[in-house]
Amino acid sequence: MAIKIFIDQGHNPTGYHNIGASWYGLYEQDITYQVGIYLADMLNADPRFEARVSRPTPYTVLGTNNTTSLAQRVQMANKWPANYFISIHANANENTAINGTEVYIYRRYTQANWLAEQILDGIVDTVGTRNNGVRVNSSLYVLKYTKMPANLVEMAYLSNPGDAEKLRDDQYQFAQGIFTGIMRYFGFS
């Protein structure tokens, strides 16, 4: 039986509700969409995995408001049911000096925690972003209501010029970093 991984590409297409951050002409929702597609393709090319994405096309819109948009993602993963849930995002801060990668989990000392450490290291090793550590946030909807180990990956800061360049040019490498982390978590090579 393949390991079922649900990839949630954060936010909805531009022009709808639940859209993401936007800096320097880059849109979080477009970057998360593409990284999710790359990652799903990598996983589905390996018979040990089966991947599904929340937004299979660039036009897919989930939910009718912010809350139902998040609820629909969680519902898709719970209903499948996925073995792991990975939500992909890009961060932003009004302090444009802040940069780096963070992976959020619901609580420590869980499978989600061990997976998060590997995904974080995988991205940092592959893309060269700063390691901001695994962080706990028990109020994030998709971490709270998913029934399987869940990670929310903040790949890098759109608001930081150096990170923004990576988010624009290295989308395949971000996917590769997450993929590497997943492989290391399972002890695959």
The residue count for binding Zn ion (CB under 5 A) is 3
Q: Which stretch binds Zn ion (CB under 5 A): 6-14, 70-78, 124-132, 142-150?
A: 6-14
Any residues with CB less than 8 A from the CB of 40 and at least 6 apart, and which? 7, 51, 52, 53
Q: CA–CA separation, 43 vs 183, rounded Å?
A: 10
Phi, psi dihedrals of residue 74, rounded to the nearest 5°: -65, -45
Q: CA–CA separation, 185 vs 8, rounded Å?
A: 19
| Binds Zn ion by CB under 5 A, chosen from 55, 89, 166, 184 | 89
Q: CA–CA separation, 25 vs 50, rounded Å?
A: 34
20 lies in the binding site for Zn ion (CB under 5 A): yes
Nearer to Zn ion, 15 or 187 (CB): 15
Q: Which stretch binds Zn ion (CB under 5 A): 70-78, 88-96, 106-114, 163-171?
A: 88-96
149 lies in the binding site for Zn ion (CB under 5 A): no
Residue 87 CB, nearest distance to Zn ion (Å)? 8
